[in-house]
């Protein structure tokens, strides 16, 4: 082997070694980042508990990445469907940002500074993404028409009529009287997921994907364990990225599930 061949072989070895080192470092970085994010998630920005057993948690998973988890009984003592948390309609809560949710649920009490700062970071991230990429015009369908479109997917049920009003979402999935695990993956600024098991207990999660170089990971945020007869809402919002909602540990159980979301739309046209 001549000198030139030896140098080429040495360079290839060095390049291969560098690639392996980069892969290992990337994996270590991603793992450390995941651990850091999980530690942050375990400390809520705010935590609300109410007399009827319902609760709402506010988290910032990463700068600008907010997730809110709400949980309440699906029916009250009279057997009627519960459509509010601490007197605030859930459909109205879904339209509010994190700070507005907190104020609405506490009767106007000022939100904690940490929550306000997190909401500001979320808005800043979205404003940066909008630079040079203006929001498209959107059409808001009447609520009755929207519910009717959704209901035709599997027949009208009380839960579907109550929980599957799509408003102006870019994507919408609604299932009733199902069993087994389920997954929804979409790329969006936000994802709202509502799950309600009527038979058995299920696990309910919304995650987001982050990538470093060519390695991508799903960031497990907070997981809801929903007992039979309870309903869980997860509202996730942040930069435009891949998001995944899941129902797990549901073999043989019965549940209703709605997942909707997409980018926040700008000009809204009301259709009569």
Q: What element of type H or E holds 17?
A: helix 3-41
Residue 169, pLDDT score: 62
Residue 195, pLDDT score: 96
Pick the more confident residue, 247 or 145.
247
**Residue 198 pLDDT exceeds 90:** yes
Least confident among 10-14, 25-29, 202-206: 25-29
Mean pLDDT, rounded, for 73-89 = 91
Mean pLDDT, rounded, for 38-59 = 85
User: In the structure encoding, which two tokens stand for residue 142, read together?
Assistant: 């009447």
**Residue 6 pLDDT exceeds 90:** no
Q: Categorize the per-residue pLDDT at 214 as very low, low, confident or very high, splitting at 50, 70 and 90.
A: confident
Spatial distance between the Cα atoms of 187 and 34, rounded to a whole number of angstroms:
20
Question: Do 101 and 56 touch, CB atoms closer than 8 A?
Answer: yes
Pairing label, strands 254-262, 182-199: antiparallel
Give the model confidence (pLDDT) of 114-162 as tens digits.
Answer: 999 999 999 998 888 776 565 544 444 333 333 333 333 334 466 776 6
Contacts of 42 (CB under 8 A, 6+ apart): none
Q: What element of type H or E holds 199?
A: strand 182-199
Q: Does the reported pTM lie above 0.95? A: no
Instruction: Tell me the pLDDT of the chain averaged across its residues.
Output: 78
Spatial distance between the Cα atoms of 123 and 136, rounded to a whole number of angstroms:
18
**Residue 24 pLDDT exceeds 80:** no
Residue 164, pLDDT score: 77
Question: Any bridge partners for residue 185, and if so which?
Answer: 244
């Amino acid at each position: 082997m001549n000198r030139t061949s030896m140098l080429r072989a040495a360079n290839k070895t060095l390049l291969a070694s560098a690639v392996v080192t980069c892969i290992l470092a990337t994996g270590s970085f991603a793992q450390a980042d995941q651990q850091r994010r999980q530690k942050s998630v375990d400390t809520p920005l705010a935590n609300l508990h109410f007399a009827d057993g319902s609760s709402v948690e506010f988290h910032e998973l990463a700068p600008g990445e907010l997730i809110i988890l709400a949980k309440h009984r699906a029916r009250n003592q009279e057997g009627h469907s519960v459509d509010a948390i601490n007197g605030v309609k859930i459909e109205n809560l879904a339209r509010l940002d994190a700070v507005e949710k907190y104020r609405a649920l506490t009767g106007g009490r000022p939100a904690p500074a940490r929550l306000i700062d997190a909401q500001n970071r979320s808005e800043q991230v979205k404003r940066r993404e909008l630079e040079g990429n203006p929001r498209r015009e959107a059409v808001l369908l009447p609520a009755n028409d929207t519910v009717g479109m959704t209901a035709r997917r599997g027949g009208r049920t009380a839960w579907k009529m109550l929980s599957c009003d799509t408003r102006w979402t870019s994507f919408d999935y609604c299932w009733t009287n199902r069993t087994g695990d389920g997954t929804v993956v979409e790329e969006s600024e936000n994802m709202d997921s509502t799950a309600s098991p009527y038979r058995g207990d299920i696990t309910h999660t919304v995650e987001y994907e982050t990538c470093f170089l060519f390695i991508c990971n799903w960031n497990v945020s907070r997981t809801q364990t929903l007992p039979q007869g309870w309903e869980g809402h997860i509202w996730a919002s942040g930069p435009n990225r891949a998001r995944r909602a899941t129902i797990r540990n549901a073999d043989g159980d019965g549940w209703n599930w709605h997942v909707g979301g997409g980018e926040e739309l700008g000009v809204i046209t009301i259709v009569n």
